[in-house]
Copies of this chain bind each other. A is one copy, B any other.
Amino acid sequence: MTVTLHDVQQAAERIRPFAHRTPILTSESLNQRAGAQVFLKCENMQKVGAFKFRGACNAVFSLSEEEAAHGVVTHSSGNHAQALALAARLRGIPAYIVMPDNAPQVKKDAVAGYGGQITFCKPTLEARESTMERIRLETGATVVHPYDNERVIAGQGTAALELLTEVPDLDVVIAPVGGGGLLSGTSIAAKGLKPGIRVIAAEPEMADDAYRSMKEGKIIPSVNPKTIADGLLTSLGALTFPIIHQNVEQIVTVSERGIIEAMRFVWERVKIVIEPSAAVAVGVLWERKVDLSGLKVGVILSGGNVDLNKLPWQG
């Protein structure tokens, strides 16, 4: 395995001055609905409103002085872009951000607000990658991939590290899966601290490439996925897939309806703002597709960046 518990622990030390140690919330309403004891790790309250800051921060502060001077570059539909822009600003280096032109306005504004230098491209993986490569050649910036990067994976694992430090007797951890950075980091931290823990992934039914990849034993890329969970559109990567294949018990898919219902339930009853991608993880409990009754279940709420002008349950 390319990333270890020790890497996650080092990442935790490295990002400690910059990242929030996010709260862990519980809710009786949610426990009743889920039939389990649920611990919500609130990465929606992380800097930039998403766990992505952990990985980006670890990557940026791992660079040598010389590397750092040329800046960093990435492509991202939003949260990773904001995260990298802020991490770069904290280190005082440029961040070049390639964004799909259909990204939500609130995310474009946020990236610009953190000082990211945005280049827009078509919303395809090919367009993103070719644009990023062009910028890399022009500037000498270091590519910080949104998930297929060891430093990023180690950084993302620090959320689970904190969760298990505060609630060591968890039976299960659930994390959403898109590219697999959060999930692979979570699984390394959780299995490293507690080998018997069950790691379950949550994925939208409408973007079930990770589910299919696990079944086939190889990466099946996502083809034009359509889900409200816009943070989970990407496919597994060469680094994240083997980690997930080894550590993750199963990938549970959640319907669009389940995602929206779980999201609304959390807003209404837990009183926190989570984005659809975070609601996918709650959706595993909501739809009860896997029996977790009576167990202690940690859920990584990946983020809380939503456009408040238009909510998913509004027609």
Report A's interface with B, CB cutoff 8 A.
23, 25, 42, 44-45, 49, 264, 267-274, 304, 308-309, 311, 313-314
Closest to A28 in B: B47
With A23-B23, A23-B25, A25-B23 already in contact, the answer to whether A271 and B42 are too (CB < 8 A) is yes
In the complex, residue of chain B having the shortest beta-carbon distance to the beta carbon of A275: B271
Q: Is the CB of A308 within 8 A of B304?
A: no
A45 x B308 contact (CB < 8 A)? no
Tell me, in angstroms, the Cα distance from A51 to B106 when the chains sit together: 32
A-B contact pairs, 19 of them (CB 8 A): A23-B23, A23-B25, A25-B45, A45-B270, A45-B271, A49-B269, A49-B271, A264-B308, A267-B273, A267-B308, A268-B273, A268-B308, A271-B272, A271-B273, A271-B274, A272-B272, A308-B311, A308-B313, A309-B314
Supplied contacts A267-B273, A267-B308, A271-B272, 7 more A-B pairs, CB within 8 Å: A23-B23, A25-B45, A49-B269, A268-B273, A268-B308, A272-B272, A309-B313
Bound Cα distance from A63 to B9, whole angstroms: 54
Name A310's closest neighbour in chain B (CB-CB). Answer: B314
Q: Is the CB of B25 within 8 A of A304?
A: no
> Which residues on the B side are within 8 Å of A314 (C-beta)?
309
Across the interface, which residues of B come within 8 angstroms of A268, CB to CB?
A: 273, 308
User: Using Cβ atoms and an 8 Å threshold, which residues of chain B touch A44?
Assistant: 271
A23→B313 CA distance, assembly (Å): 28
**A314–B25 CA distance with the chains assembled, in angstroms:** 29
- A269 / chain B contacts, CB cutoff of 8 Å: 49
